[in-house]
Amino acid sequence: MALSSIKIKCRNCGREAVADEFKLHHKLRMVVCPTCYYGRSTSGSPMTSSSSVLSSSAPSSVKMSAAAQESMERLARLKQEPAGTSYKPVSNSDDVQYKCPDCKYVFRHDPYRKYPSQCPYCSKAVPRVRIGW
C-alpha cells in the first residue's frame, strides 16, 4: 500500500489529508495538514491561534533535555537584564561601580584617574565615563 493513499486526521483542525502532505509546524510543535501549515482557514475550522500557542509552555508529551532547559533559563535571565549603562555611582566617593559586559565582574572604577583601565578579571578595556552626572 502506497503512502500517498493513506489519509491521516490533523490534530490541529481535525481534517483528513494525505500522509505525504503533512509538515512539521515549528510554532505549534506538531505535524499538521497543509491548510494549518500555511495558515489558510475556512469557516468552521477551529485552528489554534499562534498567540495562544506562544504563551503556553511546551506540551507535556515533549520532554526537554537538562542542557536545553538550562540554556532556555539562561536566555530568559539575559533578556530580563536591563540593556542600559553598566555604571552606578558609589556614595561618598568619586568612584563608580562598573559591571563588565563580558564577564559580569563588578568592580570600582575611578573615572578621573581612569583606574583601573581594564577589567581586573578578563582584561577588557573599560569604556570612558561621562563625568558630571
Instruction: Name, in order, each residue with C-beta under 8 angstroms of 114's C-beta and a sequence gap of 6 or more.
Output: 126, 128
Residues 64-110: pLDDT tens digits? 677 778 878 877 776 665 555 677 888 888 888 999 988 999 999 99
Give this prediction's pTM.
0.36
* Phi, psi dihedrals of residue 4, rounded to the nearest 5°: -70, -15
pLDDT for 49 equals 45
pLDDT for 54 equals 42
Band (119; pLDDT cuts 50, 70, 90) = very high
